[in-house]
Amino acid sequence: MSRRMRRVLINGLGVLVAIFFAFPVYWMVNTAFKTQDQFQTYTPVFIPIPTLDNFVRALGAQNLILLIRNSVMVSVSTVLLSLIVGFLAAVTLARVKFKGRAWFLLLVAIAQMAPFEALLIPIFLAIRNGLPGPLSLLPIGYNQVPTLILIYFIFTLPFTIWSLRGFVAGIPPDLEEAAMVDGASRFQAFMKVTLPLLAPGLVATSIFCFITAWNEYLYAYTFMSDPTNYTLPVWLVSFQTNFGTDWGATMAASTLFTLPVLIFFLVVQRRMVGGLTQGAVRG
Amino acid sequence: MTRAQPKVTPPVSVLGVSVAPSRYHTRRTLVRDLLPYVAIAPAFLTFVLLLGYPVLLLFLTSGQKFGLFELFNNVTTYIGIDNYYDLLFKSPAGLPDFMTVLIRTVVFMVANVVLTIALGTLVALLLAKLDKWVRIVLTSAMVLAWAMPVVTGAVLFQWLFDSKLGVVNWFISSTGIFGDYLNHSWFATGLSTFAVVTLLIVWQAIPFVALSLYAGILSIPKELPEAARVDGAGEREIFSHITLPALRPLLMMLIFLSVIWDFKVFTQIYAIRGGGPDNETITLSLYSQQLGINQHQFGVAAAAAVIMMMLLLLVLVPYIRRMVKSQEEQ
């Protein structure tokens, strides 16, 4: 076999594999833009004459605005809470040598690998019983949306610490010290020198937390009984069950749900490969 | 590590005698010594209380008679290992018995891990051989699959594999190799439902494995395979003597992660058929959820979750050890 033929074959294989990965996504978007008779045929239509009808039907679903609000509220609050608590711990881990540091690091690593699928039952029982003492005043309980913030905060905190710790450690402390020699206070040096350099790390970590909270299904499904308290993943799965035959609207809803994740994912994709085996979030 | 400290001038009294400089100094350092603990306190308390408490509760519940009555009346009755006994030797109403589910879960996990790692490695090797533009196309395609939320994937794959209008049945039928697949129902048997779930999981997991391994391949010095080639080594020898040994640590981490992930899969299976048809796709995480949340046998469900956690520990312990070690080396 000639060298040229080999190259063509290898690249051809590459294209085939690419089609395997891209096709389902293409098919989702493709179906979302089809008219009813274009997706309800035995012979599939590969390039539809686009219509927005499916999106109109999907967006017309009952309570959808409320559910979008739930999902955004839960995801954004999770990010903020995780970032604040995680940041303090991460900076300390990266910059200060204190007694017990290695133990704390181990605790973070263990927490990161905690199998939440196995903790569903005790968390359910704890939430059902309500929080003890003054904490019972918090709107945390069965069928209360803020409960999910608390749970996702516990999910994402270890990763937040682990990831931010790496980013802070990557910024040489000499930079801060130089600023302090020039008369800045420790706080000023941190705000003016380290924080701007840390911005990409903060963005990447926030996105990880956001995607985790945005995509989570098991806990949202278990804890939210009222359809107005659902988050979007729970709605999407039940939407598909209820509108089983309306694949156009289902795919339009799926596309809309996926879009923010895809955009965010592309922002951080480069960072995800690389130090990724350090406990990644899948999907 | 030396750190610049702001100069502290001790306060001086009007008489010109310094006022207890030593005590002043001690208070400063005490605050400085405590500061790291204050900073990690919120995270530490979150782990110990919010995560530690459920873990403790899981073990306690697994030793209790715990049904709806106990839930609403707040009574605790310890019954030792009865829940574990029931779990292992009595099959619960409406659910398969535990050993069936356990074996099924392990087989399912192994199938997913083997496929993910083997195909992921092949794609990584392919990436290294491709021309630049094809590589960009393939990488982008993989990122699409990887980024897809799991619930979207589960909904989408039901559409792809729909018996009447699904594009997969149309494709298989039109190639003609396997005969007529129109109206073939993929979700009629457990095995075939598992096949779709596995395809979904592997489709989303390969990108992570392949891109990580490809990054690993890039970090192998180019001189090594070149020198081997000069010495007359073939592609297969280069792979088994240079590429594979270089990738081994990374590969181990990826296998550990895949085992952990695929052992506790919930969403893909549940969102596709809720463990059906006929409970044939119920794996351990669904089993514990169904026993507890649906049947209110919280004690038995906790026992199932404890066993699941113990099995996971077999993989988690070496994984966490490696993870912490690699972090401390940084």
CB interface of B with A, residues 15-34, below 8 Å: 33
Q: How many C-alpha atoms does B23 have within 13 Å on its Cβ side?
A: 4
> What sections of B161-189 are H helices per DSSP?
167-175
- Chain B closest CA to A138's CA: distance in Å? 15
Residue-wise pLDDT for A215-273, tens only, equals 999 999 999 999 999 999 999 998 777 666 788 999 999 999 999 999 888 877 666 55
Of residues A274 and B160, more confidently modeled: B160
Could you tell me the two tokens for B180?
């007529």
Strand partners, B78: B64
Half-sphere exposure in the Cβ direction for A126 (13 Å, CA): 23
Which H helix or E strand runs over A272?
helix A247-272
Distances (CA, A) of A63 to A52, A168, A177, A266, B250: 20, 42, 54, 30, 46
Contact at CB, B302 and A111, closer than 8 angstroms? no
Using an 8 Å CB-CB cutoff, list chain A residues near B326.
Answer: 278
Please give the interface size between A and B, counted as residue pairs whose CB atoms are below 8 Å apart. Answer: 291
- What is the separation of C-alpha B2 from the centre of its chain, rounded to a whole number of angstroms? 40
Nearest C-alpha in A relative to B48: A107
Per-residue pLDDT, A72: 96
Give the start-end residues of each E strand in chain B: 64-65, 77-78
pLDDT, mean of residues B213-229: 90
Q: A-chain residues within 8 Å CB-CB of B130?
A: 10-11, 14
Residue B234, judged by CB atoms within 10 A of its CB (0-12, 13-18, 19+), counts as exposed
Residue whose C-alpha is closest to residue B152's, from A44, A265, A228? A265
Is B294 an 8 Å CB contact of chain A? no
The conformation of residue B293, written as its DSSP 8-state character, comes to I
Residue B222 has pLDDT above 90, yes or no: no
Q: Do residues B39 and A91 lie in contact, with contact meaning Cβ atoms separated by under 8 Å?
A: yes
> Which amino acid, A158?
P
Going along chain A from its start, the domains and CATH numbers come out as 25-60+243-283 (no CATH), 67-228 (1.10.3720.10)
B4 or B324, greater pLDDT: B324
Return all residues near B322 (Cβ < 8 A) that are at least 6 apart: B252, B253, B256
ipTM: 0.89
The alpha-carbon gap from A9 to the nearest alpha carbon of chain B, in Å, equals 10
* Contact in structure between B259 and B113 (CB atoms under 8 Å): yes
Q: Which of B141-145, B255-259, B324-328 is predicted least confidently?
A: B324-328
Phi-psi region at B166: left, alpha or beta (left = phi > 0; alpha = psi -120 to 50) = beta
- B327 contacts A154? CB cut-off 8 A: no
**Neighboring chain A residues of B141 at a CB cutoff of 8 Å:** 17-22
DSSP string over B119-133: HHHHHHHHHHHS-HH
Of the candidates A14, A42, A117, the beta carbon closest to that of B138 is on: A14
Distance CA B271, CA B150 (A): 9
- Please report the sign of the dihedral spanned by the C-alpha atoms of residue A105, residue A107, residue A108, residue A109: positive
Q: Is B306 left (phi over 0), alpha (psi -120 to 50) or beta?
A: alpha
pLDDT digits (tens, 9 = 90+) for A177-190: 888 888 888 888 88
Q: CA nearest B249 in A: which residue? A: A277
Task: Report the alpha-carbon distance of residue B42 to residue B55 in Å, rounded.
Answer: 19
Which CATH code fits B104-291? 1.10.3720.10
Residue whose token pair is 């310890």 = B78
Q: What is the pTM of this model?
A: 0.89
